[in-house]
A and B are shown apart, each in its own frame.
Chain A
Amino acid sequence: MNTSAHPNIPSSMVSVGGGESRKSKATGNVKMSAKDVKVFYGNTQAINGIDIDIYENEVLAFIGPSGCGKSTFLRCLNRMNDTIDICRVEGKIVLDDQDIYAPDRDVVLLRAQVGIVFQKPNPFPKSIYENIAYGPRLHGLAKRKAELDDVVESSLRRAGLWEEVKDRLDQPGTGLSGGQQQRLCIARTIAVSPDIILMDEPCSALDPIATGKVEQLIDELSESYTIVMVTHNMQQAARVADRTAFFHMGDLVEVDSTDTIFTNPQNQRTHDYITGRFG
């Protein structure tokens, strides 16, 4: 993974460092695929029929103006929209050739396989250890205490948080700083060994330094996980994503390699958005 290729955050969108090395990755197998997905809130249609393939081990970013449906679509991918009473999803989303909206599909197992990290860090009001151990306990992933300790340690290590918290695992997770809390939430998601990690604007509540750390983490995680992230920040998409999808008013306008989207978009709406004409 070539993180040193763009050590300084580029201020202009055109200078996308490291884009070349990333693009080559986006040719793996299809991990997840959406066909004509429509979402309704009551009688209002929020998503107008989206088709998209998500490849294994890629970082796919969703960009677009507020209210364009990118978060709504993201939440369809692990059925988090089920928790909203008035929300209805139509169409087909397939994960490893199996429909995730099939009636006999177990949503509990689906969410273990497709984890999610939210916009605002939401650690449980429990200790750091318990925050990480919660998922593995839930799914019975660790038989003994020692195994659980291992899972907690390796998850925190992968989230780059171990060195900062290893001496205070028994202290409340809510006592960490915002950036640490978000990495704790990422570690919590990793602990159940998902295939795909969804991230809903994971850095929008963080300061630039914490954002840098989380972005670096996303880069490292894409070695072993497929990552789909929503972001408001186009530079962030340029920095971390292999491919970028532009959403507008419930439509998926264009999806292509991040380089192409930012340097040579095919659609006029995409062009207007990334050059700052609206949004």
Chain B
Amino acid sequence: MTNLALIATLLMIMALAYHMGLTRSRAVAAEHDVRMHSRPGYYGALVALWCGLPALALFLLWSFLAPQLIEMLVTHQLPADMVAGMSDRELVTFLRRVTALANERSVSGGGTSEELAAAAHMARLQTFENLSLVALMAVFAVTGLVVARRNISPQWRARNQVERVITIALAASSGVAIFTTVGIVLSMLGETLKFFTFISPAEFFLGTTWNPRFSTSGTDAQGEFGLLPLLWGTMMVSAIALLVAIPVGLMTAIYMAEYAPPWLRNVAKPIIEILAGIPTIVYGFFALIVIGPFLSNVGDLIGINIRTTSALTAGLVMGIMIIPFVSSLSDDIITQVPKSLRDGALGLGATKSETIRQVVLPAALPGIVGAFLLAASRAIGETMIVVLAAGNNPVLHANPFEAVSTITVTIVNQLTGDMDFASPQSLVAFALGLTLFVITLGLNVIALIVVRKYRQQYE
């Protein structure tokens, strides 16, 4: 029985259990002519949970432990001198080949006789394991169902128990995101520390030259891993992007929140928000094919040498991309400013634009700054546009018309192609990733604090 069919069956049994719990609770109520503690649906749900949860827990635990147990048994059964003659690494490879053979996948060389024998043994064990899992799950499910159904009585606080299970399920779901974040950070941290055994942190954070060379040329040909040119490129592109996005986005927000008639607002707001839904790779080749050449031509006209792929090209297009972030967040915040404040200013004889400039915007300022910071962290982490349009030139210079490279672009470069995860050339990607993570995390935290402070003001 495949796992999918197993789970599907279990769900069907749970549905049945729900129904049985429901009818049983009604029967109990009718029999004793009393009011049950909870509505029948709660008894049904609780019986279903009693039936399903233990079986599901068994299934998860089993899927985690059984393969290891089987490998252990197979190893045990091998001739002792053969195991003793193999290094740990060879044993792992051997077991991997055996597992593949047991599951009827082909391996290179077709498998030796020892491997085939072990595979046959493993296949037998797997069949037995699978059958016993099905049997055990059935026992768990049926026991749970019977016990829970028998438990149904007017005093059983089914509603409270179901509520508790729901609370736990919700908490576990939020835990997924948090533990994933922690996991990502820890894995990056480990690799970063490995990188710092090759290159000292001072050399990485303060180095002004980025020239990692290739890992294939051997560890003796170590390059230079200076972060500063990349950080500078990131900052330059992001700054250009924000210079575009902040004024345009803010003015869009003011128009949408204060001036636009409702019908226009209803049409225009979704269209602006679509900008946020365009894949960034599309922005990337828009920059490469349209904006880059256009800027280059304009540069020729006025006598400035603008490269087709430059900080300016990438920054401009990225700015367009983050306009909706700025505008829709600011719009929400401006709309939240109480009408009574506007009335106060208008009642004193302020014009509409005076009211917005002198009362509404100052009141909304902390929230708007929060929106800017979120947009900035988005710009710093943006990858595809800069990969295509920034020109990949990791050199420290202050000319926005020249090509630059950013942290994100460099991570892509270091992790594509043929790589060896033990070389500093690949490991540096993790150090860069962690740096980026810390920068954007910092901006997000500041933004959240600022936004929260603003919220408190009107509560």
Contact = CB atoms under 8 A, between A and B. Distances in A.
Contacts of A108: 349-351
Interface stretch (B304-312, B358-366, B423-431): B358-366
Contact of B348 (A85, A120, A123, A188): A188
Interface in A111-150: 111-112, 115-116, 118, 120, 122-126, 134-135, 138-139
Select the residue from B341, B342, B344, B359 with max chain A CB neighbours within 10 A.
B344
A80 B343 contact: yes
Contacts of A110: 349
A125 B348 contact: no
A171 B354 CA distance: 23
A124 B351 contact: no
Interface string A137-167: 0110000000000000000000000000000
Contact of B346 (A111, A126, A139, A189): A111
A97 B350 CA distance: 24
A124 B347 contact: no
A122 B348 contact: no
Nearest to A86: B262
B363 A124 contact: yes
B217 interface: no
Contacts of B351: 108
A231 interface: no
B347 A80 contact: yes
A192 interface: yes
Contacts of B349: 107-112, 135, 138-139, 192
A109 B350 CA distance: 9
Given A125-B457, A138-B354, A189 B343 contact: no
B184 to A, nearest CB: 40
Nearest to A192: B348
A268 interface: no
A72 interface: no
Interface string A231-259: 00000000000000000000000000000
Nearest to B339: A83
A17 to B, nearest CB: 32
Interface string A85-117: 100000000000000000000011111100110
Contacts of A226: none
A134 B345 contact: yes
A47 interface: no
A271 B349 CA distance: 39
Contacts of B343: 80, 83, 116, 118, 122
Given A120-B340, A126-B362, A83 B346 contact: yes
B207 interface: no
Contact of B338 (A109, A111, A112, A122): A122
A249 B39 CA distance: 48
Contacts, number: 66
Contact of B358 (A109, A116, A134): A134
Interface string B363-381: 1000000000000000000
Instruction: Report the contact-size class of chain B (Cβ under 8 Å from the partner).
Output: 20 to 34
A78 B349 CA distance: 10
A122 B344 contact: yes
A189 B348 contact: yes
Contacts of A59: none
A125 B344 contact: no
A198 B333 CA distance: 30
Interface in B77-108: none
B220 to A, nearest CB: 64
Contact of B363 (A85, A125, A188, A192): A125
B354 A118 contact: no
Contacts of B348: 111-112, 115, 134-135, 138, 188-189, 192
A80 B457 CA distance: 26
Select the residue from A125, A139, A188, A189 with max chain B CB neighbours within 10 A.
A125
A126 B358 CA distance: 10
Select the residue from A120, A124, A126 with max chain B CB neighbours within 10 A.
A124
A83 B344 CA distance: 12
Interface residues of A, number: 28
Given A120-B340, A122-B338, A138-B354, A189 B363 contact: no
Contacts of A125: 341, 362-363, 457
Nearest to A108: B349
Given A108-B351, A134-B358, A138-B354, A122 B340 contact: yes
Contact of A138 (B262, B338, B350): B350
A185 interface: yes
Contacts of B362: 124-126
B73 to A, nearest CB: 72
Contacts of B345: 124, 134
Contact of B344 (A109, A118, A139): A118
Contact of B347 (A85, A111, A126): A111
A272 B349 CA distance: 39
Interface in B262-279: 262
A124 B346 contact: no
Contacts of B338: 122
A85 B259 CA distance: 11
A128 B294 CA distance: 53
A174 B348 CA distance: 18
Given A78-B347, A135-B349, A124 B359 contact: yes
A124 B341 contact: yes
B327 to A, nearest CB: 22
Nearest to B359: A124
B157 to A, nearest CB: 44
A110 to B, nearest CB: 8
Nearest to A109: B349
Contacts of A185: 344
Select the residue from A108, A115, A122, A126 with max chain B CB neighbours within 10 A.
A122
A116 B359 contact: no
23 contacts: A80-B343, A85-B262, A108-B349, A109-B349, A111-B346, A118-B340, A118-B343, A118-B347, A122-B338, A122-B340, A122-B341, A122-B343, A123-B344, A124-B362, A125-B362, A125-B457, A126-B362, A134-B345, A134-B350, A138-B348, A138-B349, A185-B344, A189-B348
Interface of B: 261-262, 338, 340-351, 354, 358-359, 362-363, 457
Leading 10 A-B pairs by shortest Cβ distance: A122-B340, A111-B349, A112-B349, A116-B347, A135-B348, A122-B344, A108-B349, A125-B363, A138-B350, A124-B359
